Amino acid sequence: MARRILLIIGGGIAAYKSLDLIRRLRERGYGVRVVLTRAAQEFVTPLAAGALSNDRVFTDLFDLDDEREIGHIRLSRDADLLVVAPATADLLAKMATGQASDLACAVLLATDKPVLVAPAMNPRMWAHPATCRNMRQLETDGVKFIGPNKGEMAERGEAGTGRMSEPTEIADAVDRLLGGDASAMKKAGLLSGRRVVVTSGPTHEPIDPVRYIANRSSGKQGHAIAAAAAVLGAQVTLVSGPVSLPPPEGVETITVETAEDMLAAVRRALPADIAIFAAAVADWRVAAAADQKLKKTKSNSAQTLALVENPDILKTIAAAGPKRPALVIGFAAETENVVAHAQKKRKDKGADWIVANDVSPETGTFGGDRNTVHLVTARDIEGWPPQTKEEVARRLVTRAAEYLQENQIDV
């Protein structure tokens, strides 16, 4: 069973960020059910929250149906954790004094589960002695807090402490509270029953027994993708070139050296529903690698290495055939005209999607922890904001899972 979060959205401008929080939590494998306060509905609609959570949204205490079928007691008991985001000054005051006048308060009063609160309000309201008093009370009651952060407020010219924490910060706090690591959330299900193959890292193409041709790929992005797919319940085979990363938890990792070995290992890992090629495969190998270490020649003239082209693993696997995965995703690391090159690459290689990223040295993508990508599909191009490689991975595998669902590709 997926771990369940009951997300109570209060009525503040930060409520729009809570829609993103729903996505971020689902990407991490949590089931999310949403309660909207009356004031929250001035900022976000039940329809939007319901579409993102893929569940019914609850708004009223005195909805007879809810009281009969689910009720506020069950709503709070069904969850593993209650998250209040944004928690307004009003909501904090109601919680601190144990009120039960609306569904959000009643659920919070009836729960025996941990509660995580992300306050958001004007800095003066945050600093008011009444809010400070309420916070102390709630801390004594065992409520956990994340934020608020310092920064610009929605009101023009206002700055200070009172901004709601960012969705990923809140999701990280949820992970910490629920001991949420890959193994704890594995049964989440979006990809359960699916097989996923991922390539990662560089390849090493031998010149002689001690030298090789390689590139700067760290394997961070590919490894993060394999880990994220496993969290969503997929059976994952990661075919990795030589990297200094530990194998991700819950993933079958096969280590290879050369492009030819990588292709053979990918073929053995098929059939799969999804194949994601994040490896930076060497385009060429030495035609005939020497059996013994090459020596300097007497004349001291430089060696010439004859190169031959390596197989294109992505293109080979994306070619139509009985074992072609339903969704084939490639990467395009470019230093200029990133999107245009990626669109061409998608067609040339027969991939369904290309994740395009700018790897010019000033971006620090190669070997770095962050990545700015565009997702290029047959239909459109999406620019994603700068994110950590883990975030890119989670978003990509969630999108892949949704693609299989939308296209009714059965498990």
Binding interface with ligand C5P (CB under 6 A): 199, 259, 277-279, 281, 310, 312-314, 330-332, 345
Q: Do the Cβ atoms of 189 and 2 come closer than 8 Å?
A: yes
- Tell me the Ramachandran region of residue 230: left when phi exceeds 0, alpha when psi lies from -120 to 50, beta otherwise: alpha
CB of 231 to ligand C5P, least distance (A): 22
Mind telling me the catalytic residues? 215
For every residue of 117-155, DSSP letters joined together read: EEE---HHHHHSHHHHHHHHHHHHTT-EE--PEEEE-SS
Nearest-angstrom CA–CA distance, 407 and 181: 30
- Alpha carbon distance, N-terminus to C-terminus of the chain: 18
Burial 180-197 (b: 16+ CB within 10 A, else e): bebeebbebebbeebbbb
CB of 314 to ligand C5P, least distance (A): 4
> Would you say 310 or 343 has its CB closer to ligand C5P?
310
The CA distances from residue 207 to 79, 127, 180, 204, in Å, are 58, 66, 45, 9
CB of 315 to ligand C5P, least distance (A): 7
> Would you say 42 or 348 has its CB closer to ligand C5P?
348
CB of 218 to ligand C5P, least distance (A): 14
> Would you say 194 or 285 has its CB closer to ligand C5P?
285
> Would you say 126 or 366 has its CB closer to ligand C5P?
366
Cα dihedral 84, 89, 91, 93, rounded to 10, equals 130
> Would you say 109 or 264 has its CB closer to ligand C5P?
264
Spell out the residues 6+ positions from residue 93 whose beta carbon is closer than 8 angstroms to its own.
Answer: 130, 131, 134
Helix, strand and coil percent figures for the chain, each rounded to 5: 35, 25, 40
> Would you say 212 or 277 has its CB closer to ligand C5P?
277
CB of 380 to ligand C5P, least distance (A): 19
Q: Sort strands 205-208 and 211-213 into parallel, antiparallel or unpaired.
A: antiparallel
CB of 330 to ligand C5P, least distance (A): 3
